[in-house]
Amino acid sequence: NAGVTQTPKFRVLKTGQSMTLLCAQDMNHEYMYWYRQDPGMGLRLIHYSVGEGTTAKGEVPDGYNVSRLKKQNFLLGLESAAPSQTSVYFCASLAGNLATDTQYFGPGTRLTVL
């Protein structure tokens, strides 16, 4: 039982390049989330999904796209990376709702955009 895994762990991009971050969970959780974490700021929600085939915008969705084609996977795409997207990205999953369950986080992806 691996829990929540993220690929890659580190990445350096040049401005304008694109990339996809992969999040996978083996706990059969319905909800999945993408956050970014910047120094001195709380975790900020980028996009989330309440089930296979569904996605929704969070607090800071601009510049990112997501897809949830399979229940266990949640992909985060950057079409044209900008230096402002330099951050640590965390994926999380949740079995039910936040009133009864806790989020489980992946190890994070450190992204630098030059």
Partner 1 sequence: GQNIDQPTEMTATEGAIVQINCTYQTSGFNGLFWYQQHAGEAPTFLSYNVLDGLEEKGRFSSFLSRSKGYSYLLLKELQMKDSASYLCAVVDSNYQLIWGAGTKLIIKP
Residues that bind partner 1 (CB under 8 A): 40-45, 58, 90, 97-99, 102-108
Q: Which is nearer to partner 1, 15 or 54 (CB)?
A: 54
Handedness of CA 93, 9, 20, 65 (dihedral sign): positive
Q: Is 68 helix (H, G, I), strand (E, B) or coil?
A: coil
CB of 36 to partner 1, least distance (A): 11
Q: Which is nearer to partner 1, 17 or 108 (CB)?
A: 108
Cβ-contact 111, 85 below 8 angstroms: yes
CB of 97 to partner 1, least distance (A): 6
Q: Which is nearer to partner 1, 85 or 93 (CB)?
A: 93
What does DSSP assign to residue 70?
A: S
Residue whose structure tokens are 């915008």? 57
